[in-house]
């Protein structure tokens, strides 16, 4: 068995090698489940109030190939960019966090918070002509729960959904296992959007290649590793309040071109081969800002910023003082300014600023202080040796820093800088860059520091990283190995607390405790950035920074 796997490894390695060579040594693969680039507060510059021109094709370069266009089975942020154009949700979340009607016109929550009754729009049709109704909603959410669907991220989002009762054709009651404040927000996410029940039954596993929804665009074709085409849905008149145009979109078609090589993607925007391209690296943002023919659309992601988790299950990081030494020695400002050249915001808290409950008071709280860091390590009994590395009882003070490959958002470079910063206080940092984060981190738990981020619409996202009941690593600990009964209690209470102010206070306490106890080092908030020709107008974003093309048009 083991031998067989090794053979496979070689075969896979060979194939990968070939692919790499053929693709011009690309490598901007973004493939982490938890981590999706995206969010609210659209800073749409330009876009002067010109009358929208109808027609035209918008070519849009994606950074990687989507895994599937079946929203319930996808785990990639890049897939959501296309999924969003084809599918709608029951509700929409605005950038300020409020929930607004979309395919549902109104809803009522029961006193105990265990059931949600939705009244649905009656004029909605799927692209294949199937009518949208209460049965369709029930079918969709049950489909996510059904193990045969092999639901990915959607399964976590739909929780604690239990069952649905069809009250009449356009009224559906959703029943929950436990009350959840995050439920409505989650229902607004593209990964739990509504697919056509007829199509889902017809295509089964293959729905991802033949998606059918109720969205502003209809799926046309998907050429593997080349492009995905969607065309205007002329019947569309149920747009979310996130966009101005409530009717069918202005564009004839949106063509998503798959261009993993960064230089190619940016080059094709500059040369006009495509009208827009996503995920622009900081150094190019600066250069493109000066380009007269181009404009940038930028939107900060929401949820958990890119955060370094310090593994408390590895000595000496179980000691508060050791972690505080890291907190004081790592100069996050310098890292963010150097690598991102002022285009990314620095993170201060386990949550991003746009997320509900974000505690602003943490900003400016942690300051780099080498003397303090040195003093803390001295107190722990670590003495600097001749080589400048601290040691105690003959054991050197090393830190095993794990990061994934390819070098997404310059995260490997963060490791390189931290290696130098920690050298100053006598910690030897071993950096391990691996293609197999799943095994190294999530199965073996073999890391002192590992960084990750998560796009999410609700502070409930904190649970899977800081609640002691979340055991994503080796089935026995959360990423930081953090166990704190008080914090557990606040997170549990936050999920059911109905009073918004009280809920806010609970999450503030959680964030403060995490920073005070130096559980993590928050690094940056990721801005989803699009470069586009100046003729492209009014690309909007949903609350998680996924682009919306309802209002978009091409000026002639």
Partner 1 sequence: MKETAVAKTAWPRTRAMRRSAPRTAKLNVSNLLVYAAGFVVIFIVLCALMPGQIAPYSPTEMVMTDIMLPPSLTHFFGTDYYGRDVFSVVVYGSRDSLLIGLASVLIGGLLGASIGALSGFLGGIFDTVIMGFIEVLMTIPGILFALAIAAAMGPSLFNVVLAVALSAVPGYARVFRGQIISVKGRPFITAARSVGAGNLRIFFRHVLPNAWSPLLVMATIGLGTSILIGSGLSFLGLGVIKEIPDWGTLLSQGRGYLTVAWWMSTFPGLAITMLVLSVNLMGDKLRDHIDPKKSRF
Q: Which of 108, 334, 383, 496 binds partner 1 (CB under 8 A)?
A: 334
171 in contact with partner 1 (CB under 8 A): no
How long a stretch of residues is the chain?
556
Rg (CA), the chain: 24
- Count the neighbouring beta carbons within 10 Å of the beta carbon of residue 18: 10
**Furthest-apart CA atoms within the chain: distance in Å:** 78
Provide the pairing of β-strand 383-384 with 227-232. unpaired
How far apart CA 69 and CA 511 sit, in angstroms, is 35
Identify the residue among 145, 156, 433, 513 touching partner 1 (CB under 8 A). 433
- Cβ at position 443, least distance to partner 1 in Å: 16
The tokens for 381 are 């009994």
Nearer of residues 179 and 406 to partner 1, judged by Cβ: 406
By the rule CB under 8 A, 29 interacts with partner 1: no
User: Between 286 and 496, whose beta carbon lies closer to partner 1?
Assistant: 286
- Dihedral sign for Cα 231, 185, 307, 400, please: negative
Among 150, 202, 293, 337, binds partner 1 (CB under 8 A): 337
Categorise residue 496: left if φ over 0, alpha if ψ from -120 to 50, beta otherwise.
alpha
432 binds partner 1 (CB under 8 A): yes
Q: Considering only residues 33, 407, 504, 535, which one is a binding residue for partner 1 as defined by CB under 8 A?
A: 407
Instruction: Please identify, among the stretches 349-357, 426-434, 476-484, 534-542, the one whose residues bind partner 1 according to the rule CB under 8 A.
Output: 426-434
Residue 27 interacts with partner 1 (CB under 8 A): yes or no: yes
Q: Is the Cβ of residue 420 or residue 501 nearer to partner 1 in the bound state?
A: 420
- # residues contacting partner 1 (CB under 8 A): 38
Q: Which is nearer to partner 1, 166 or 416 (CB)?
A: 416
The number of beta carbons lying within 10 Å of the beta carbon of residue 548 is: 21
Tokens coding 321: 């003082």
Work out whether 271 is an interface residue with partner 1 (CB under 8 A).
no
Q: Determine if 14 is a binding residue for partner 1 (CB under 8 A).
A: yes
Going through 64-178 in order, the beta strands assigned E by DSSP cover 91-93, 99-101, 104-109, 115-120, 161-168, 171-176
Looking up tokens 């609350």 gives 543
Task: Specify the stretch interacting with partner 1 by CB under 8 A; choose among 240-248, 352-360, 415-423, 521-529.
Answer: 415-423
Contact status, residue 334 vs residue 346, Cβ threshold 8 Å: no
Q: Is 419 in the site for partner 1 (CB under 8 A)?
A: yes
The two three-digit tokens of residue 261, written as one number: 């090589």
* Residue 252 engages partner 1 in binding (rule: CB under 8 A): no
Look-up: residue for tokens 């969205």?
A: 215
- End-to-end Cα distance, the chain: 61
Q: Which two tokens stand for residue 429?
A: 């940092």
Would you call 524 helix, strand, or coil by DSSP?
strand
Pick between residue 57 and residue 262 the one whose CB is nearest to partner 1: 262
The residue range among 17-25, 456-464, 470-478, 528-536 that interacts with partner 1, by the rule CB under 8 A, is 17-25
281 binding partner 1? (CB under 8 A) = yes
Q: Does residue 220 belong to the site contacting partner 1 (CB under 8 A)? A: no
- The runs of H, that is alpha helices, within 262-319 are 262-270, 282-289
Question: Is residue 447 within 8 Å of residue 311, measured between CB atoms?
Answer: yes
The Cα 428–Cα 134 span in angstroms is 60
Give yes or no for a contact between 107 and 118, defined as CB atoms under 8 angstroms apart: yes
454 contributes a contact to partner 1 by CB under 8 A: no
CA distance 539 to 90: 22
- Alpha-carbon distance of 326 to 376, in angstroms, equals 10
Closest alpha carbon to 283 in 301, 269, 262 = 262
Can residue 405 be called a binding residue for partner 1 (CB under 8 A)?
yes
Token pair for residue 555? 């000026």
Between 30 and 159, name the residue whose CB sits nearer to partner 1.
Answer: 30
Is residue 406 a contact point for partner 1 (CB under 8 A)? yes
**Min separation Cβ 533 and partner 1, Å:** 18
For residue 262, state whether it binds partner 1 (rule: CB under 8 A). Answer: yes
CB of 17 to partner 1, least distance (A): 4
CB of 431 to partner 1, least distance (A): 6
CB of 408 to partner 1, least distance (A): 12
Is the CB of 273 or the CB of 419 nearer to partner 1?
419
Strand (E) or helix (H) holding 413:
helix 411-423
Q: 449 forms bridges with which residues in the sheet?
A: 310, 401
**Interaction between residue 16 and partner 1 (CB under 8 A):** yes
Rounded to a whole number of angstroms, the minimum distance from the CB of residue 36 to partner 1 is 22
Q: Which of 431, 470, 489, 492 binds partner 1 (CB under 8 A)?
A: 431
Which listed range, 39-47, 53-61, 143-151, 335-343, lies at the site for partner 1 (CB under 8 A)?
Answer: 335-343
Report in angstroms how near the CB of residue 130 gets to partner 1 at its nearest.
46
User: Interacting stretch for partner 1, rule CB under 8 A, among 93-101, 154-162, 199-207, 332-340?
Assistant: 332-340
* Binding-residue pattern over the window 98 to 137 for partner 1, x denoting contact by CB under 8 A: ----------------------------------------
Q: Least distance in Å: CB of 427 to partner 1? A: 13
Selected binder of partner 1 within 191, 207, 276, 339 (CB under 8 A): 339
Report the SS3 class of residue 220. Answer: strand
Minimum CB distance to partner 1 smaller for 27 or for 489? 27
Q: Could you write out the three-class secondary structure of 152-184?
A: CHHHHHHCCEEEEEEEECCEEEEEECCCCCCHH
Which range touches partner 1 (CB under 8 A), out of 111-119, 161-169, 376-384, 399-407? 399-407
DSSP helix/strand/coil, 241: coil
Q: Which residues bind partner 1 (CB under 8 A)?
A: 6, 9-10, 13-14, 16-18, 20-21, 25, 27, 262-263, 266, 281, 283-284, 286-287, 334, 337-339, 341, 405-407, 413, 416-417, 419-420, 423, 431-434
């Amino acid at each position: 068995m083991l031998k067989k796997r090794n053979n496979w490894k070689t075969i896979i390695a060979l194939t990968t090698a070939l692919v790499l060579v053929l693709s011009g040594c690309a490598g901007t693969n973004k493939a982490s489940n938890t981590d999706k680039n995206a969010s609210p507060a659209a800073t749409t510059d330009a876009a002067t109030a010109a009358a929208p021109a109808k027609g035209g094709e918008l070519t849009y370069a994606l950074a990687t190939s989507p895994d599937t266009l079946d929203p319930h089975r996808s785990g990639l942020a890049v897939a959501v960019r296309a999924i969003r154009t084809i599918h709608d949700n029951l509700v929409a979340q605005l950038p300020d966090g409020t929930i607004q009607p979309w395919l549902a016109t109104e809803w009522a929550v029961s006193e105990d918070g265990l059931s949600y009754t939705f009244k649905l729009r009656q004029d909605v049709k799927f692209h294949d002509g199937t009518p949208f109704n209460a049965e369709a909603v029930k079918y969709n959410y049950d489909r996510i729960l059904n193990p045969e669907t092999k639901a990915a991220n959607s399964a976590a989002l739909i929780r604690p959904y239990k069952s649905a009762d069809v009250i009449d054709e356009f009224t559906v009651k959703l029943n929950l296992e436990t009350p959840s404040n995050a439920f409505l927000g989650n229902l607004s996410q593209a990964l739990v959007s509504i697919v056509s029940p007829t199509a889902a039954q017809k295509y089964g596993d293959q729905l991802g290649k033949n998606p059918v929804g109720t969205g502003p665009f209809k799926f046309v074709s998907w050429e593997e590793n080349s492009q995905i085409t969607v065309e205007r849905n002329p019947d569309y008149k149920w747009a979310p309040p996130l966009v101005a145009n409530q009717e069918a979109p202005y564009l004839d078609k949106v063509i998503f071109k798959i261009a993993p090589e960064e230089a190619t993607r940016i080059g094709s925007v500059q040369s006009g081969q495509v009208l827009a391209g996503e995920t622009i690296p900081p150094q190019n943002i600066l250069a493109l800002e000066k380009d007269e023919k181009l404009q940038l659309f930028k939107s900060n992601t929401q949820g958990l910023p890119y955060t370094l988790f310090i593994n408390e299950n590895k000595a000496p990081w179980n000691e508060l003082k050791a972690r505080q030494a890291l907190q004081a020695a790592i100069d996050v400002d310098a890292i963010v300014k150097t690598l991102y050249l002022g285009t990314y915001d620095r993170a201060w808290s386990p949550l991003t600023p746009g997320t509900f409950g974000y505690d602003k008071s943490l900003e400016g709280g942690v300051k780099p202080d080498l003397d303090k860091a040195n003093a803390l390590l001295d107190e722990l009994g670590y003495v600097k040796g001749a080589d400048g590395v601290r040691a105690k009882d003959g054991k050197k003070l090393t830190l095993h820093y794990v990061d994934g490959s390819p070098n997404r958002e310059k995260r490997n470079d963060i490791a390189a800088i931290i290696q130098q910063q920690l050298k100053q206080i006598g910690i030897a940092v071993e950096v391990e860059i691996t293609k197999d984060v799943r095994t190294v981190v999530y199965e073996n738990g073999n890391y002192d520091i590992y960084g990750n981020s998560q796009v999410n619409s609700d502070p409930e996202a904190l649970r899977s990283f800081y609640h002691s009941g979340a055991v994503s690593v080796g089935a026995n600990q959360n990423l930081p190995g953090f166990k704190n009964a008080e914090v557990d209690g606040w997170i549990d209470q936050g999920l059911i607390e109905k009073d918004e102010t009280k809920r806010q206070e609970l999450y503030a306490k959680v964030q403060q405790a995490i920073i005070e106890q130096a559980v993590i080092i928050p690094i940056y908030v990721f801005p989803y950035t699009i470069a586009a020709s100046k003729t492209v107008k009014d690309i909007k974003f949903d609350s998680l920074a996924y682009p919306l093309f309802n209002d978009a048009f091409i000026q002639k």
